[in-house]
Amino acid sequence: MKKNDITLRTGLFGIGLEAYWEQFAGLKTRLENYISIVASNLESYECDVVNLGLIDTPEKAFEAGSLFRKEDVDIIFLYVTTYALSSTVLPVVQRAKVPVIILNLSPEAAIDYAAFNKMEDRIKMTGEWLAYCSACPVPEIANVFHRVGIKFHQITGMLHDDEACWNEVREWVAAAKVAHIMYYNRLGCMGHYYSGMLDIYTDLAKLYAHFGGHIELIEVDELVSLRENISKKEIRGRVKLFYNEFDVQQDCAEEELERAAKTSVALDRLVEKYDLGSMAYYYKGTGNKANEDAISSIILGNSLLTAKGIPVAGEYEIKNAQAMKIMDSFGAGGSFTEYYAMDFKDDIVLMGHDGPGHIAIAEGKTKVRPLHVYHGKVGNGLSVEMSVKHGPVTLLSVVEKVDGRLMLLTAEAESVPGPILEIGNTNSRYKFSIGARKFVNDWNSNGPAHHCAVGIGHISSKIQKLGDLLNMEVVKVC
């Protein structure tokens, strides 16, 4: 599946009791209209909706489960429109085998008691009551799901005029989209681990187990080979793009810009060849001039890739490439970062990193600066200097626990203005609601690697839902 083919397929069905329809005129049509409203709302969240309408018998439930499975839905919304037997629900969810969200939505804020009690026809009264009876079977459904081992989530609210309720629905759809993206994502791993940086080492099979996707192991030699076939015209065009996208400082040598441009075009070809949606890389290149030349000119190209939805993590930080992809898939960005220092005077944490940055979430235009030494590594080259946009941000780390399972660690903060270190790196000042000292202690106590991803906006509630869909523990520090 191509990385841009990320359409979420959402299953929707309502439930009822077939015996009601002959007894209560208009009830079925009324409930079907409710389902249509839910379907329309889901479609507005840019997903394909497989709407099976009202399921009112066990026989139809078995058919519905098979159809959802055939249609390859990623998530199911079960709209409880009125009372229904749990036997009309269980076969659908058991067969489909995807996460289920129970929608317990009342059609209005309250029944019009006065009008209801003035109704003289007892049959019509019962039909009217059943139209508001969505809460009634939810305990029965929850009981059965618990007892047969089906994990579920529920949203209780109103069909109309309930922003909190529909924001929950939107977040579940957003989380399901990200789970879908991660399942089909192709992650490229180019080079090798940074020797001695033990916290970043990981078991690739664990990533498959938690996220799905595909991991392609790539030789740096292949990037070098692609560089050899880049034309001067392509190099000139990419240098021009650099000037459009970056604030290129005057002390950047044209020769260095051309070197970076050559590598950037080659990176694009590498990504296209393997259909990559993200990448992690590191390589010394020592003793091989061509390899060293490629790796020391890689930052601008990787920053461009990151900005267009193909996040690139340095130092072969594969877990953090996953965190960056999650953040970017939520539309929050996802820039590579780590602690730099603490400012106890202003109660902030300075965070950033050398290497590629997510220039689409930068405060202002990202500067390009020359490096006389490549941050303690071999060679020299150009690097990017940026701060994340001022305002709310979220940090995310994919953490490997002592039992080998992965978890998601998150924190919300504010990116605030102030002095930064002008050293050619990504660099931001973050203020946390629990204070810098407590944040650092609490974050570290969960055992993350020293890198994490940062994106704009407060999205920890979406990350929690993603964790629920992926059966991953989520810890929120603040």
Given this model, what pLDDT does residue 5 score? Answer: 56
- 415 close to 386: Cβ distance less than 8 angstroms: no
Map out the domains of the chain with their CATH numbers: 9-182 (3.40.50.10940), 185-476 (3.20.14)
Q: What is the three-class DSSP state of 9?
A: strand
Q: Please check the confidence at residue 439 and state whether its pLDDT lies above 60.
A: yes
Given this model, what pLDDT does residue 99 score? Answer: 96
Half-sphere exposure (Cβ direction) of 208: Cα atoms closer than 13 Å: 6
- Identify the CA nearest to 57 among candidates 90, 27, 25, 101: 90
Write the pLDDT tens digit of every residue in 74-90. 999 999 999 999 999 99
Integer Cα distance of 306 and 328 in angstroms? 9
Given this model, what pLDDT does residue 69 score? Answer: 96
Q: Please check the confidence at residue 4 and state whether its pLDDT lies above 70.
A: no
Q: Please check the confidence at residue 303 and state whether its pLDDT lies above 70.
A: yes
Choose the weakest-confidence range: 124-133, 333-342, 450-459. 124-133
Q: Please check the confidence at residue 467 and state whether its pLDDT lies above 50.
A: yes
For residue 104, give the H/E element and its range. strand 100-106
Q: Please check the confidence at residue 1 and state whether its pLDDT lies above 50.
A: no
Write the pLDDT tens digit of every residue in 246-256. 999 999 999 99
More confident residue, 286 or 229: 229
Sheet with 247-248: list strands edge to edge: 247-248, 367-371, 381-385
Write the pLDDT tens digit of every residue in 305-354. 999 999 999 899 999 999 999 999 999 999 998 988 999 999 999 998 87
Q: Please check the confidence at residue 2 and state whether its pLDDT lies above 70.
A: no
| Phi, psi (degrees; rounded to nearest 5) at 452 | -150, 175
Choose the weakest-confidence range: 74-78, 177-181, 193-197, 380-384. 380-384
Integer Cα distance of 4 and 73 in angstroms? 18
Integer Cα distance of 395 and 227 in angstroms? 35
pLDDT, average across residues 196-223: 95
| Phi, psi (degrees; rounded to nearest 5) at 418 | 150, 175
Given this model, what pLDDT does residue 189 score? Answer: 97
Q: How are beta strands 406-416 and 426-431 bridged, if at all?
A: antiparallel
Mean pLDDT of the chain: 92
- 52 close to 12: Cβ distance less than 8 angstroms: yes
What is each CA distance from 275 to 188, 230, 283, in whole angstroms?
9, 20, 21
Given this model, what pLDDT does residue 3 score? Answer: 44
- Identify the CA nearest to 159 among candidates 115, 89, 104, 102: 104
Given this model, what pLDDT does residue 118 score? Answer: 86
Q: Please check the confidence at residue 387 and state whether its pLDDT lies above 60.
A: yes
Beta-bridge partner residues of 426: 353, 386
Residues 6+ apart with CB under 8 A from 253: 370
Q: Please check the confidence at residue 379 and state whether its pLDDT lies above 60.
A: no
Q: Please check the confidence at residue 452 and state whether its pLDDT lies above 50.
A: yes
Given this model, what pLDDT does residue 370 score? Answer: 85
Which of 260-264, 377-381, 386-390 is modeled with the greatest confidence?
A: 260-264
10 Å Cβ neighbour count for 367?
17
Write the pLDDT tens digit of every residue in 428-437. 999 999 999 9
* Residue 425's pLDDT band (cuts 50, 70, 90): confident
Residue ranges of alpha helices (H) inside 185-253 are: 204-211, 220-227, 232-245
